[in-house]
Structure 1
Amino acid sequence: MVLGALAALGLSVLDVPTFERLMMVAAMCLIAGWLGHHLNLSCDDQWDGIALRK
C-alpha cells in the first residue's frame, strides 16, 4: 500500500493527467488483488495439505 501511495504521489508530481492516474491506480488494484489471491492460496495449501495452484 505504501508503494501504491508513493506511485500515486509520483504521478501527481509528474503532472500526469487525472484520467491516466485513475487508470494506473485501477491497474495497481488489480495487481494487488491478484497478489492477495495467490498469497491466500498459499496459506490454504499450508493448512489443508492440498495444492490448489493452477
Structure 2
Amino acid sequence: IIAIFGRLLANEKGKIEAYTLTFCTFLAWRRQEGLAKEQQDRLILQEGGF
C-alpha cells in the first residue's frame, strides 16, 4: 500500500519528495511496530514472573 501511495505521489510532485515521504512513513511504522513488540515482551515477562 505504501509503495503504491509513493508511486502516485511521484507522478504528481517529483520522485525525491515521494521517496522521502514513503521512507518516513515506513520508519514511523517500524517504530510503532517496535514499541508494540516491546510492550508485548514486557507483559510476557511480567506474567511469567521473570
After TM superposition, the score normalised by the length of structure 1 is: 0.65
The percentage of counterpart residues that share the same residue type is 11
Matched positions, count = 47
After TM superposition, the score normalised by the length of structure 2 is: 0.69
Structure 1: gaps of 5 or more residues: 50-54
The aligned residue for residue 36 of structure 1 is: 33
The aligned residue for residue 19 of structure 1 is: 16
Query: Computing the radius of gyration over CA atoms, which structure comes out larger, 1 or 2?
Result: 2
| Structure number with higher relative contact order (C-alpha < 8 Å, ≥ 6 residues apart) | 2
Q: CA RMSD in A?
A: 2.0
Runs of 4+ in 1 over 3 A off after TM superposition: none
